Structure 1
Amino acid sequence: MSKLYRDILYLIIEELQYDRKSLVSCLTINKIWCEIIIPILWKNAWEDLAFDKENLLLNTIISHLSDEERNNLSQYSKISYKKPLFNYISFCKHLNLEIIENIILSHGQGQYNEIKNYILNLFINKNAEYTHLYMTNYYYEYHLIPEAEQCFSKIKFLRCDSRVKENSLAILTKMCKSIEDFELIIYNYENNFGIPKLIENQENLINVSFLHKYSPYDGLFRAFLENSLIKHANTIQYFNICGKLETQILTSFVNLKDLVLMGDWERWIFIENLSLPSLQSLYTRDINTESLKGLIENSGGKLNELNISYSVIFPDAISTKEIIQVICQNCPNLTHLEFYYKNCNVLDLEKLLIKCQYLKILGIYYIVEDEFMNWDNLFNILVTSSPLSLHKLKIIYPVNQPELKSLKLFFDNWEGRKPISLIISIKGDFIRKKQLNDLIGNYKSKGVVKDFIHYSYEYDDLIESKAKEIVKDLKTKAANIFYGFKNLFN
């Protein structure tokens, strides 16, 4: 029974691996819990690492060094270290060389090279085997570490930048054949033209991201990169690219499911007739209206997620109307839609809501500085025309706040449907916050409102608010699972 207990407990805890705070709180329950949780926490020790925790992590890593090695480091020679309870480093499956470099630079207080050499030898050795590698942009001679080839041979995820040094790239090209997820940060003109060979060598490349650190970029290098993907045309399912494509490579991705395009508002005629029969998710930013319309029209009718974003130039009412019409005609299976909206497009929105009967999540971006949002019209259309599947509504950047009476009427009319999660971003805080909280609390108790999240334009506020909601929800679920599981074996 104890083995069954341990196996089931492991499966439960693994599901909660991203709720690190809750996992840490469970470390002291008993030895079995601790032995299961520690490897999960250290699988990716770098995830969400706050600056004030970096020195603690560095000291934990240093504790794995021998007494002789620590004595060679003046900064640590006089500090008494207890032998670690676990060989924490052996649990690492994500090797983030960039964070390691940054931690040493920030907290090493001298002897940078010595500390780095010792630490890298802890992580790169004959006993280490990684699935995720985040290659630093510092020009370290990784090829001089004898076990580097073995450590990197089973990498599934690789993130590096276009300045990767030749010797390090040679190791990756030689040993890494199983990369499925590849992210490349591209710099201006500091590009290693050996990277396309690394891409070509992979056996099952699925996800590809070409991200630009600066612009303009090297068009010739980009063309080489895009052409290196031809071999993987049948396996690539996710493609993310910043800037205009230099080739017609997208026409080859017959099994592409997720596409992210970030443009510069220039018209891309070649994507207007592009056929992507398997496409399910499309995110665009600053894509010309005509190009966007053509892309949606030829998406194959399987889109279930569409996010249309702009950062500088925003579509006028006519362009918005045209985009909505194209969505109505070609995207009947949408479950998640985010786009820009103006008051004068309210009837177009009504048609869209009637047409998209599977819609679950709707995000409306309202960036019109000289025009107030007509909340009553919007809420009325949502109540009368939205599909019963809709349960999450995001309204971003309206100039004005909704009146409490408008919210009350909306919630009254929403009663009897799926509880709504409402997210509103406005400048500043709600004027009558106490009355708002009372109103929301009342409709939560009635089962009309599931969540209400308000945040200001500062994106950090959204992250913090949402994170708190997620952690709270996870803790509740985890507690219920744990107590039920504990009772099962008592």
Structure 2
Amino acid sequence: MSKLYRDILYLIIEELQYDRKSLVSCLTINKIWCEIIIPILWKNAWEDLAFDKENLFLNTIISHLSDEERNNLSQYSKISYKKPLFNYISFCKHLNLEIIENIILSHGQGQYNEIKNYILNLFINKNAEYTHLYMTNYYYEYHLIPEAEQCFSKIKFLRCDSRVKENSLAILTKMCKSIEDFELIIYKYENNFGIPKLIENQENLINVSFLHKYSPYDGLFRAFLENSLIKHANTIQYFNICGQLETQILTSFVNLKDLVLMGDWERWIFIENLSLPSLQSLYTRDINTESLKGLIENSGGKLNELNISYSVIFPDAISTKEIIQVICQNCPNLTHLEFYYKNCNVLDLEKLLIKCQYLKILGIYYIVEDEFMNWDNLFNILVTSSPLSLHKLKIIYPVNQPELKSLKLFFDNWEGRKPISLIISIKGDFIRKKQLNDLIGNYKSKGVVKDFIHYSYEYDDLIESKAKEIVKDLKTKAANIFYGFKNLFN
């Protein structure tokens, strides 16, 4: 029974591996829980590592060194270290060389090279085997470390930058054949033209991202990169690119499901007549209206997620109307839509809501500095015309906040539908917070409101990211069972 209990517990905890806060809270329940949770937490030890925890993290790593090695590091020789309860490093499947570099630079106190060599030897040795590798720092020669080839032979995910050193690239090209997810950060200069060979060598490349650190970029290098993907035309399902395409490579991706395009408002001729019959998710940023319309028209009608955003130049009401019309005509299966909106497009929005009957999540970007949002009109259209499936609403950047009476009327009219999760980002903070909290609490108790998140877009974008996480419903069956198990031992 003990083994069965352990196996079931492991499966449940593995389902919750991204809810690190809850897992940490369970470490002290008993020995079995601790032995299961520690390897899961250390699988990707770098995830969400806060700056104020880096020194503690470094000390934990240093504790794995021998007494002789620590004595060679003057700043650690006088510190008493207990032997770690676990060989934490052995549980790592993600190796983030960039974070290692940054931590040592921040906390190494003048012994950078010595500490770095010792730590890299802890992580890169004959017993280590990684599935994820992050090496966006190009200064270190990893070919000098014995067993580097063996450690990297089963990499599934690789993030590197275009300046990667020749010898390090040689190891990757020789040993890495099973990369499925590849992210390349492209710099303006010093691009290594051996990277296309690394790409060609992969046996099952599925996800590809070409991200630019600076603009403009080297068009010739980009063309070489794009052409190296031809071999993988049948396997690539996700493609993310910043800046104009240099070739017509997208026409080859017959099984592409997810596409991310980040432009500069120039026309993308290569995408206007592009046919992508398998495309399910499209994210665009600063893509010219004509190019965007052409892409949506030829998307094959299978899109279920569409996100259209802008950072500097914003479309006028006519362009917004044209985009909404194209969505209505070509995207009947959308479940998630985020796009730019103006008050004068309210009737266009109504048509879209009527047409997209499977919509579950709607995000509206209202970026008009000199015009207040008409909340009453928007809420009325949402109540009268949105499909019954809609249950998450995000409204970003309006100058003005909704009146409490407008929110109350909206919630009254929403009663009887799926509970709504509402995120509102405004300039400044809500006034009359107590009345707002009382109002939301009332409608939560009635089952009308599931979540209500509001924050100021004057703060860091991280707040929006956290808000998104709050809205997520983490109460899955696995989570409920997990907390049931936990309560048995508290």
Pair 385,476 (structure 1): closer, same or farther in 2 beyond 3 Å: closer
Distance in 1, Cα, partners of 2:299 & 2:366? 26
> Please, what TM-score do these two structures have when normalized by structure 1?
0.97
List per-residue Cα deviations over 1:3-27 (Å, max 9, x = no partner).
1100110111111111212111111
Structure 1 residue runs of 5 or longer lacking an equivalent are none
Matching of residues 270-289 of structure 1 within 5 Å: 270-289=270-289
Asked whether the equivalents of residues 22 and 475 of structure 1 are also in contact (C-alpha less than 8 Å), the reply is no
Pair 336,473 (structure 1): closer, same or farther in 2 beyond 3 Å: closer
Stretch of structure 1 that moved more, 26-35 or 454-463: 454-463
SS in 1 for 2:476: helix
Post-superposition shift, 1:485?
A: 3.5
Asked whether the equivalents of residues 186 and 210 of structure 1 are also in contact (C-alpha less than 8 Å), the reply is yes
Tell me the equivalent position of 2:382: 382
Asked whether the equivalents of residues 455 and 461 of structure 1 are also in contact (C-alpha less than 8 Å), the reply is no
Asked whether the equivalents of residues 93 and 129 of structure 1 are also in contact (C-alpha less than 8 Å), the reply is yes
Structure 2 residue runs of 5 or longer lacking an equivalent are none
List per-residue Cα deviations over 1:435-456 (Å, max 9, x = no partner).
1111111111111111110010
Asked whether the equivalents of residues 333 and 356 of structure 1 are also in contact (C-alpha less than 8 Å), the reply is yes
Pair 473,299 (structure 1): closer, same or farther in 2 beyond 3 Å: closer
Aligned-residue RMSD, C-alpha: 1.9
Stretch of structure 1 that moved more, 477-486 or 314-323: 477-486
Pair 462,147 (structure 1): closer, same or farther in 2 beyond 3 Å: closer
Stretch of structure 1 that moved more, 255-264 or 403-412: 403-412
Tell me the equivalent position of 2:208: 208
Asked whether the equivalents of residues 420 and 448 of structure 2 are also in contact (C-alpha less than 8 Å), the reply is yes
List per-residue Cα deviations over 1:280-306 (Å, max 9, x = no partner).
000000000000000000000000000
List per-residue Cα deviations over 1:364-410 (Å, max 9, x = no partner).
11111111111111111111110000001111111111111111111
Distance in 2, Cα, partners of 1:369 & 1:111? 51
Distance in 1, Cα, partners of 2:365 & 2:464? 21
Asked whether the equivalents of residues 101 and 136 of structure 1 are also in contact (C-alpha less than 8 Å), the reply is no
List per-residue Cα deviations over 1:197-224 (Å, max 9, x = no partner).
0000000000000000011100000000
SS in 2 for 1:98: helix
List per-residue Cα deviations over 1:333-356 (Å, max 9, x = no partner).
000000011111111101000000
Post-superposition shift, 1:77?
A: 1.0
List per-residue Cα deviations over 1:63-104 (Å, max 9, x = no partner).
111111111111111111111111110000000001001111
Stretch of structure 1 that moved more, 187-196 or 71-80: 71-80
Post-superposition shift, 1:484?
A: 3.1
Post-superposition shift, 1:480?
A: 4.0
Pair 69,462 (structure 1): closer, same or farther in 2 beyond 3 Å: closer
Distance in 2, Cα, partners of 1:471 & 1:78? 47
SS in 1 for 2:473: helix
List per-residue Cα deviations over 1:201-259 (Å, max 9, x = no partner).
00000000000001110000000000000000000000000000000000000000000
List per-residue Cα deviations over 1:285-330 (Å, max 9, x = no partner).
0000000000000000000000000011100000000000000000
Asked whether the equivalents of residues 204 and 232 of structure 1 are also in contact (C-alpha less than 8 Å), the reply is yes
Distance in 2, Cα, partners of 1:468 & 1:425? 12
SS in 2 for 1:184: strand
Pair 286,301 (structure 1): closer, same or farther in 2 beyond 3 Å: same
Tell me the equivalent position of 1:15: 15
Pair 181,72 (structure 1): closer, same or farther in 2 beyond 3 Å: same
SS in 2 for 1:261: strand
Distance in 2, Cα, partners of 1:473 & 1:274? 36
Asked whether the equivalents of residues 19 and 471 of structure 1 are also in contact (C-alpha less than 8 Å), the reply is no
Stretch of structure 1 that moved more, 105-114 or 197-206: 105-114
Asked whether the equivalents of residues 16 and 479 of structure 2 are also in contact (C-alpha less than 8 Å), the reply is no
Pair 426,258 (structure 1): closer, same or farther in 2 beyond 3 Å: same
Asked whether the equivalents of residues 451 and 471 of structure 2 are also in contact (C-alpha less than 8 Å), the reply is no
Post-superposition shift, 1:431?
A: 1.4
Distance in 1, Cα, partners of 2:468 & 2:385? 32
Distance in 1, Cα, partners of 2:117 & 2:268? 48
Post-superposition shift, 1:464?
A: 7.1
Pair 26,473 (structure 1): closer, same or farther in 2 beyond 3 Å: farther
Post-superposition shift, 1:460?
A: 3.3
SS in 2 for 1:363: strand
List per-residue Cα deviations over 1:392-437 (Å, max 9, x = no partner).
1111111111111111111111111001111111101111111111
Distance in 2, Cα, partners of 1:91 & 1:338? 39
Distance in 2, Cα, partners of 1:70 & 1:476? 46
Pair 44,356 (structure 1): closer, same or farther in 2 beyond 3 Å: same
Distance in 2, Cα, partners of 1:423 & 1:365? 12
Stretch of structure 1 that moved more, 368-377 or 356-365: 368-377
Distance in 2, Cα, partners of 1:482 & 1:264? 47
Stretch of structure 1 that moved more, 431-440 or 384-393: 431-440
Pair 464,71 (structure 1): closer, same or farther in 2 beyond 3 Å: farther
Stretch of structure 1 that moved more, 367-376 or 160-169: 367-376
Pair 489,409 (structure 1): closer, same or farther in 2 beyond 3 Å: closer
Asked whether the equivalents of residues 390 and 418 of structure 2 are also in contact (C-alpha less than 8 Å), the reply is yes
- State yes or no: 1:482 paired with 2:479: no
Stretch of structure 1 that moved more, 399-408 or 253-262: 399-408
Asked whether the equivalents of residues 335 and 359 of structure 2 are also in contact (C-alpha less than 8 Å), the reply is yes
Pair 269,136 (structure 1): closer, same or farther in 2 beyond 3 Å: closer
SS in 1 for 2:338: strand
Stretch of structure 1 that moved more, 326-335 or 395-404: 395-404
Distance in 2, Cα, partners of 1:149 & 1:458? 47
Stretch of structure 1 that moved more, 128-137 or 290-299: 128-137
Post-superposition shift, 1:139?
A: 1.5
SS in 1 for 2:475: helix
Distance in 1, Cα, partners of 2:417 & 2:467? 26
Distance in 1, Cα, partners of 2:337 & 2:420? 16
Post-superposition shift, 1:479?
A: 7.2
